[in-house]
Chains A and B, each alone.
Chain A
């Protein structure tokens, strides 16, 4: 599906699939290099197992690079942070899957980390991936491209996003909250990472404060949109799901709470909202195209790389 912004028709359709595939290949290679196996091997294997999982869509790192390039930033400035986003994202997912949390036996189409490495190793793999992300940013970002105060803003942004008022809060309410917590859970668990990725890219690309605020709203809308559409698709193919699985999903699904029609309305609103924020970036010409196509991808799932997030 091609983006169709209301004004200024695109001179040529932006090929998201090629753009994304190229970036993913680069990011995968950098992630592979970022976690070399050494003594004690088992922990590095556990970390690599989740971070390098086949079928990962790398949405956070791609969004980070894309947002950086929008403002004319060099993608080399964004790569270390892009990798770090994937590391902390993986760490959160590993911990979310634990038996004492969502108790998920699989992730991205393969057995979850603790299923393979044991609960103790899975906790430690997560504990090691968070700091590795921060270390990767400060040690790998080219100092001639990014000033240090900017690095500190990026680190604060990521730490806040995964912390007790961000993704950890979303996971907590997902576990403990009643059905009314669904909006909050969606925002925090799914909107937060996309928001953080867009904002970090903007910071690294040298965006103005007002532009950062736009990226924030845009990222959050795209992240939640992706999940609402996921809920709708899941509902449409739910025949394969056991009653137990359906019940487990109940608290966190828009569709379960509001019904499919309302969920589709919400999806439409989020899509408009995200695109509206991008209108202000039209002055950057072609470079805004990848950000539009993110919205369409989240809304329509125009293609897949196999597996789910």
Chain B
């Protein structure tokens, strides 16, 4: 294997992801225990522990370690962002929203537990995310924990995640949706929570304001990147390859990057966003930044 100039082996992304995803999964497993009333906790665990790539929690931990923090400082936040992500998927899949039957290769939450339980399980995960950060974060000052809670709350509310969903819903089937509006949807619907994942990690790890803001810019780039790639995959991959219903953007008559600019230009945009993301990491220790660089590449090159 080639080594870098300081004699270190090259960064092994697969190994890194596997190791981090394992510790995240273990932490998630013990975060939501089976207790009465059983069915609602089963429903929470069903979706929370359904696998998934754990991109958000790993981003959170990687950002924490990049600014010099320990994994344990970021772990409650890492679990919390995954809880929020899961909650938004559960509610998004409901019949009154996207009406999806399949998620992460399994029947959706409401298909298994019913719509009522799916709504409640989502609400419970949302609340629990905040409780988990407030109660379980150790070795971090209260000031930083409070700041992290502010960032998370801002990113998932009506100025963040929910804003993206609202504009997304209201622009379905409407002609004349432009790039600007599409970018608004994705910056809110997808990028906001990725941003929160990275920002929470940086805050908990003790990052300076300047470091937190650089990582915020990085996260916004990979957030948009994530969605551009998602749009391309929805068009080019099968349901089986994706683990969720393919081509649903077309069926729902949703505006996408390939539809607005063609598939080639969409791929060019993806490369540009990845390059922009990487530039935000200049100035950080290059070895410590390797996981975030590799995560951006992974988001750019993933097949599902």
Contact = CB atoms under 8 A, between A and B. Distances in A.
Interface of A: 38-40, 42-44, 47, 91-92, 95, 98, 100-101, 118-121, 123-124, 126-128, 130-132, 134-135, 138-139, 147-149, 151-153, 155-156, 158-160, 162-165, 168-169, 171-173, 175-176
Given A135-B157, A138-B149, A168-B124, A124 B162 contact: yes
Contacts of B165: 124
A119 B97 CA distance: 8
Given A100-B116, A101-B119, A160-B127, 5 more contacts: A91-B123, A121-B169, A131-B126, A164-B37, A172-B40
Given A40-B166, A169-B37, A159 B154 contact: no
Range, interface on chain B: 35 or more
A172 B120 contact: yes
A119 B134 CA distance: 31
A168 B40 contact: yes
B279 interface: no
A43 B116 contact: no
B96 interface: yes
13 contacts: A39-B163, A127-B87, A127-B88, A127-B126, A130-B127, A131-B157, A138-B147, A149-B142, A159-B131, A164-B44, A168-B124, A169-B40, A172-B116
Given A47-B158, A101-B119, A134-B130, A119 B96 contact: yes
B170 interface: yes
B158 A44 contact: yes
Nearest to B41: A164
Contacts of A159: 127-128, 130-131, 134
A120 B37 contact: no
Centre residue among A44, A147, A164 by max chain B CB count within 10 A: A164
Centre residue among A118, A158, A168 by max chain B CB count within 10 A: A168
Interface string B84-118: 00011001001011000000000000000011110
B35 interface: yes
Contacts of A148: 142-143, 145-146
A123 B96 contact: yes
Nearest to A124: B162
Complex A-B, nearest 10 residue pairs according to Cβ-Cβ distance, in ascending order: A135-B153, A159-B131, A148-B142, A164-B124, A100-B115, A119-B96, A131-B153, A128-B158, A163-B127, A131-B157
- The secondary structure that dominates the A interface is helix
Interface string B30-49: 00100111011100100000
A148 to B, nearest CB: 4
A91 to B, nearest CB: 8
A171 B128 CA distance: 16
A123 B119 contact: yes
Contacts of B39: 172, 176
A173 B117 CA distance: 10
Contacts of A126: 123
B152 interface: yes
A37 to B, nearest CB: 10
Contacts of B116: 100-101, 172, 175
Contacts, number: 151
A175 B150 CA distance: 33
B157 A128 contact: yes
Nearest to A44: B158
Interface in B9-46: 32, 35-37, 39-41, 44
Interface string B67-88: 0000000000000000000011
A172 B126 contact: no
Nearest to A47: B158
A171 B169 CA distance: 28
A148 B165 CA distance: 32
A172 B131 contact: no
B119 A100 contact: yes
B91 A123 contact: yes
A132 B157 contact: yes
B117 A172 contact: yes
A175 to B, nearest CB: 5
B135 interface: yes
B33 to A, nearest CB: 10
B119 to A, nearest CB: 6
Nearest to B115: A100
B295 interface: no
A118 B134 CA distance: 34
Given A135-B157, A159-B127, A165-B35, A42 B166 contact: yes
